[in-house]
Structure 1
Amino acid sequence: MTATAPVPPGAGTQVTDEESARAGRGPLVQYATGSLGMGAWVTVPGLLLLYFLTHTLGVSPLVAGLALLVPKIVDAVLHPLLGTWSDRQAGRRGHRRGMMRWGLLLGGAMLAMFTVPGDLHGTPAALWVAGWYVVGNVLFAAFQVPYLTTPSDLRVGYHERTRVFMVRMVLLTVGLLLAGVLAPVLVSDEQRGSYTRMALVFAVLMLGTAWVAVRGVRGLNDTCGFRAPTPHAQSALADLRLAWRDRDFRLLVLSYLFTGATTHLVLAAVPFYAEHVLGRSGLTAVLMGAFLAPAIVTSPLWLRVSGRIGKHRGLLLAQLMFVLGTVALLAGDHVPTAVTVVVVVLLGTSFAGLQLLAFSMVPDAVAAAERRGESRAGAYTGVWTATEAVGTAVGPYVYSAALALGGFAASVDGESVPQTATAVRAVLLGFTAVPAVLMTLAWLIQRRCALDAPTARR
C-alpha cells in the first residue's frame, strides 16, 4: 500500500523510501507494549525520586539533585558505547534483540532503589539511591538503545516511521499516565514501606512488557525487513564523531537536550507545586493525569499535523505551546484550580507533540545518513538516548538548585516543615519561568534544523 499522507510543504520530490512496507498491527502493538514498562521507569524516578529524597529520607535539595544527576552522567557516557555495540551485534546476528533482554532485569533495580534500609538517612540514603539508579540506568539503556533503533532498522518510508512512533507514543503515554497517577497514590503517606510496595508493582509491569516487546521486535523485522547497519570496525568514539558531524542531527539533538530537560523538570516539580504553591498535595495525581492523559488522544492529531506541515514545523509548534503554557502558570494560586488544570492539559497536548515528532525525526536522520553511505543506526540512537538521559537528569537538578537557592527545607518521613516565602517562590518560578526559558532555547535551536528539507527527504 502506498502512503497516502500528504507531503509536507517544501518536500519538493516524491518520497522514494520503501513506502510499500507497512508494519503489521499485531507486531506493532507488541513492540509498543514495551513502552508501558519503560514509561514507568521514566516517570516514577523523574516524578518521585527528588521528593522521596527530600521529604522521606531527609536529604538536602542540593545533595538530592546530585544523587539524580551523577547516575545520569554515567548513563550518558554509556549510551554511545551501547549504540556501537548494538550495531556490531546487528551486523553479526541480523537483529538487536540480545541486548534488549537485559531490560528484563530492570524491575529489580527499581525495587532496590526504593527499598532504602531503615537506618539510612541524609547523604548515606542518597548514596544508596544513586547506586541503584546507576544499575537501573545501565539496564534501561541496554533495552532502550536497540528498542528505539527498531524504526530505523525497518524498511519503511517517512510517514510509516511516524506511524510506528505514534503507536509507541500512545502506549508510552498510557505507561506514563499509569505511573504518574498511580505512583503518587501508592506513596501518599510518604513512608518507606509504601515506596517499596509501589516499586514492586511497577517492577512486575516492567518485566512483562519488556518480554512482549522483544517478541514484537522480532515480528516487525519479519514483516518489514531489517536494514542492517553498514559493516564497520570503528570505535564508539569514531561513531560519536560521525553522528556529531551530521549538522541536522546535531541540531535536533541539541534542541531535544533542552526539551528533555524542560519536560523532566516539570515532572519533578509537580509534587512540590501541588503541595507548596496550590496547598494540596493530593493534586499531584490530578496534575499528572492532566499532563499525560491528553497524549493518548492528541498523538494521532500530531500525526495529522506532521502529514500536513512536516515534523519540523510541527515540533516548533509544540515547543511554542509549551512555552506559553508554563508562562501562564506563573499566576500560581491566584487563579482557580480548574484553570490551572486546563493549562496543564494544554502542556500535556504539547508534550505529546514534543515526544512523537522529535523521536520520529531520528530515523529520518538515519535514512538521510544512509543515502550518504554513512548508516550507523545504533550509533545515532546511542547519541540520542544519551542526550535524553542527560536531559532527564539536568531538569530535576536545575529544579533542585532553584529550591536550594530559595532555602527549601528537607524533611523526614513526610513530616511537615514550614517553608519561607522565598522557598515557596522558588518552587513556583522553578516550575514556570525556568521551563519557559529552557524550552525557548530548544525552539531557537530547532528552527535551524533542516531534516524536512528536500535534500533530507529524497
Structure 2
Amino acid sequence: MDHPSGSLPNRVRAGYALGSLVTGAFGTVPGLLLLPYLTDTLGVAAGIAGLLVLAPKAWDVLINPVAGRISDRTRTSLGARRPFLLGGGLALAVLFALIFAAPVRSGAYVALVFLAAATAFAFYQVPYVAMPAEMTDDYAERTRLMTWRVAILAVAILVSGAISPMVTKQFGDGVPGHRAMGVFVAVLIVIGTLGSFFGTRGAPTGKVLQSEPSFAAQLRVVRGNRPFRLLLICFVVQAAGIATMLAGVSYFATQILESPDTGATVLFACFVGPALLVMPVWTRVGRRVGKLRAYVLASVLFAAAGALLALAPFLPAVVVYVITGLVGAGYAGQQVFGLAMLPDCIAYDADRTGRRQAGVFTGLWTAGETFGLALGPGVFALLLYAFGYVSSSTGEAALQTDTAKLGVLLGFTVVPAVVVVSALIALRGYDLDEGRLSAAVAEPDPALEQG
C-alpha cells in the first residue's frame, strides 16, 4: 500500500495501541520486580543482582539494530513488520513466564532466560516502533497515534505494575508467588500480541523504498540525521532515570513508606492513573506550544515532582501519593512527545534521502531505550550496595539500617530527577518542526538524488 497522507481510522489506532500491552508489561515488570526478586527471594547480593539485570538488557544494544535491519528487508504478504509482531510477541510470553519459574534457585538461570526474553522482545519492539512512520506521513496524525499508544501504555503499566505485586502476595510471595505473577504477565503479553497483529491488518504500510546496501552505510545515514541523534540521546538518558525510579518502587514502599503489602500497588496506581487523565491535556499543550516545548515541560514536571518526593519521610502518605501523581503526569507527556517526535525524524530522513530506513532508526532507538531502562536497576542496585543494603532469601526484606534506607530514598527521588532534567541539554540543537518537515518533502537532497 502507498504511503498514506491523512488520518488513520480508530480501528487501526486502537489495534496498534494494543501493542503497548507487550512493551508496557515487559518494560515495567522486570524493572519493578526482578531486582527485589533476586535480592529478597533468591538471596543474591545487591551488586551482583544489578549486573544480572543489566547484562541481558545490554545485549539489546547489539540485537535491536539487527532486528531493525532484518525487518526493513522483509517482504511478505503480511508486510514487513507484522510477522515479527506475532512471532516475537508469542515467544516473549513463554520466556517471560520462564524467568520467574525458578526450577533452580539460581541467579544465572534468571539472567540466561532474561537474555532470551530480551532477544524475543527486540524482534517485537523494533518492527512495532517502526510502523507509525510508514502508516501515515501526517505530522499531527503521528501525535494522535502516539496519544492512543501512550494511553494504552499507561493502562499496561497500571495493570502489570500495580497488579503484579498483588498477584505475588496472593500466591504466597517467594518463588510460588513469582511463578503465578510470571504467568499473569505472560497472558497480558499474549493479549497485546494478538491485538496488535490482528488490529493492524489492512493498515497502511507505506512505500517499499530502496534500503542502504549495508549496515555500516545505514549507520552513516543515522549519524547524518542530527534531530534523531539529539532526540535519541535525551530519551535514552531519561529512560535510565525513569527506570531507576521504577526499580526503587518496592524498596521505597517497604523501607520508606513502611507499607510492604500495598504500598507498591498504591504508588503505581497514583503514578499511572493521573497519566490517563492528562493525556488530552498534553495533546492540547502540544498543539499550542509544539512538541519540543511540550516535551521539555513534561520532563521538568517529572523532575520537580520526583525531587520533592525526597521529603517523603516527613510527609503524610496521602501527600506522597499526590506528588507521585504529578510524576506520572510528567512521565505521560515525556512518552507522548518523545514517541511523536521519533517518526518525524524518520519521515524527515525518508523524504531527504528517498530510502526506507525506519527499521534501522527504530532498531537503534529501541536498543538505546532498552539499554537506558536496563541501566536504571543497575544504578539503583549500586546505590543499595554502596549504602549497605542487606539481601535476604526468605521472600521478605531484611531489616535495614538508616543508611541503607537513605540509599533507597535517594535512588527513588533525587537521582532520577537529576538524570531526567539533565538529559534536556541534548535537545538544545533540535530544530525539526512541521515547517522543516514540509521543506524536506518539497526539496529533497539533490546530492542524494543523484546517488
User: Matches of residues 53-68 of structure 1 in structure 2 within 5 Å?
Assistant: 53-68=38-53
2:201 is the alignment partner of 1:218: yes
Counterpart pick for 1:451 among 432, 436, 442: 432
Residue number in structure 2 paired with 1:34: 19
User: Matches of residues 359-398 of structure 1 in structure 2 within 5 Å?
Assistant: 359-373=339-353, 374-398=355-379
CA distance in 1 between counterparts of 2:333 and 2:75 reads 30
Contact 1:320 1:443 in 2 (8 A): no
2:91 is the alignment partner of 1:105: yes
CA distance in 2 between counterparts of 1:191 and 1:444 reads 43
Task: Give the residue type in structure 2 aligned to 1:270.
Answer: V
2:72 is the alignment partner of 1:87: yes
What are the superposed Cα offsets for residues 368-415 of structure 1, whole Å, 9 maximum, x if unpaired? 112211441111111110111111101111111111100111001324
Residue number in structure 2 paired with 1:315: 295
CA distance in 2 between counterparts of 1:361 and 1:71 reads 28
Tell me: CA distance 1:390–1:416, structure 2 relative to 1, closer, same or farther (3 Å): closer
List alignment gaps of at least 5 residues for structure 1.
Answer: 1-16
Counterpart pick for 1:192 among 175, 197, 202: 175
CA distance in 2 between counterparts of 1:148 and 1:230 reads 18
Counterpart pick for 2:191 among 202, 208, 223: 208
TM-score (norm 2): 0.92
Counterpart pick for 2:244 among 258, 265, 269: 265
Contact 1:22 1:156 in 2 (8 A): no
Residue number in structure 1 paired with 2:279: 299
2:388 is the alignment partner of 1:403: no
CA distance in 2 between counterparts of 1:40 and 1:446 reads 29
Shift of 1:287: 0.4
Counterpart pick for 1:114 among 100, 105, 121: 100
2:412 is the alignment partner of 1:427: no
What are the superposed Cα offsets for residues 256-304 of structure 1, whole Å, 9 maximum, x if unpaired? 0111111111111111111111211121100011111122111222111
Residue number in structure 1 paired with 2:257: 278
Tell me: CA distance 1:439–1:457, structure 2 relative to 1, closer, same or farther (3 Å): farther
Shift of 1:151: 0.6
List structure 1 segments (4+ residues) > 6 angstroms apart after TM superposition: none
2:47 is the alignment partner of 1:69: no
Contact 1:327 1:432 in 2 (8 A): yes
2:330 is the alignment partner of 1:350: yes
Task: Give the residue type in structure 2 aligned to 1:97.
Answer: R
SS in 2 for 1:218: coil
What are the superposed Cα offsets for residues 189-230 of structure 1, whole Å, 9 maximum, x if unpaired? 431011111111221221132012112222322xxxx32353
| Identical-pair percentage | 34
CA distance in 1 between counterparts of 2:174 and 2:184 reads 16
Contact 2:279 2:333 in 1 (8 A): yes
Task: Give the residue type in structure 1 aligned to 2:140.
Answer: H
2:303 is the alignment partner of 1:328: no
Tell me: CA distance 1:90–1:392, structure 2 relative to 1, closer, same or farther (3 Å): farther
Tell me: CA distance 1:95–1:415, structure 2 relative to 1, closer, same or farther (3 Å): closer
CA distance in 2 between counterparts of 1:329 and 1:354 reads 19
Residue number in structure 1 paired with 2:443: none
CA distance in 1 between counterparts of 2:438 and 2:108 reads 47
Contact 2:21 2:191 in 1 (8 A): no
Shift of 1:41: 1.4
TM-score (norm 1): 0.91
Query: How many residues in Structure 1 have an aligned counterpart in Structure 2?
Result: 432
